[in-house]
Amino acid sequence: METIPKTDCQKVGFFRKTHGVHGEVVLEFDEQFEYSVEESDRFFVELDGLLVPFFVEKDGFRFRSSKTAIVKFDWVDDEKYAKRLIGASAYLFHTEIIDEQDENESTFEGLMLIDSKLGEIGVIDHVDDYSGNIVFTVSYRGEELLIPFHEEMLVSYSESEGTLTLNLPDGLIDA
C-alpha cells in the first residue's frame, strides 16, 4: 500500500465538529482556500499520521460561512463514525489549490459603488462568493454594509472611472 506524502499536499483546514446525526462534519478552512475546498470532490484526512482520502458525496458540500462548510463523505453515515474525524486536519494536493480570488472579484474591489437613486454608497472593500451568490462589503456612514449583487442590478461599470453603478432594491439601504 502506497501512502500519500504530506510534502505533496497543503493543509487547508480541519474538522471542527459533527453536524447532525447522519455523518456530516463541519470543515473549518482558511479563507484563502475557499475556491479549492468548494471545487474538491475529495479531501485527505490526517488519521494516525497518515493521509487518508475521503470522497465527498454528490451534493455533499455546502458553505456554512466564509470560513466553514458542511461536508458529507461517502461511507460516513452516522455521528459515531463522523466523530472520529473531529480535530483531524484536511489536506489537498498542491496542484488542487486555486488562487484565492478570481478575476471578477478583484475587478470589483476598490470600486466606488453607486446606487442609481441614492448616489454614492461607498468603496467596495471586499467581495465574497457564496456558492455563486456575490456579496459586496461596503463601508456606508461608518457601518459595514453587505450588498448582494446580481447582473440584473447592473446599470454601468467603468474601470477607468473606478465606479460600479447598480439599481439596488428599495429598502436595502436606510437613506
Q: Please write the tens of the pLDDT for every residue from 66-120.
A: 899 999 999 999 999 999 999 999 999 999 988 754 444 557 888 999 999 999 9
pLDDT value at residue 103: 43
Strand bridging mode 89-93 / 112-115: unpaired
Residues in the chain: 175
The average pLDDT across 160-172 equals 89
**Range from 14-23, 39-48, 67-76, 144-153 carrying the lowest mean pLDDT:** 144-153
Q: What is the pLDDT of residues 8-23, one digit of tens each?
A: 999 999 999 999 999 9
Place of cell 440584473: 152
Q: Where are the domains of the chain?
A: 6-96, 111-166
pLDDT value at residue 128: 83
Higher pLDDT, 129 or 93: 93
- Whether the per-residue pLDDT at 49 is higher than 60: the answer is yes
- Whether the per-residue pLDDT at 142 is higher than 60: the answer is yes
pLDDT value at residue 140: 87
* CATH placement of domain 6-96: 2.40.30.60
Amino acid of residue 131: S
- Whether the per-residue pLDDT at 155 is higher than 60: the answer is yes
DSSP conformation letters of 102-161: -HHHHHHTTPEEEETTTEEEEEEEEEEEETTEEEEEEEETTEEEEEEE-GGGEEEEETTT
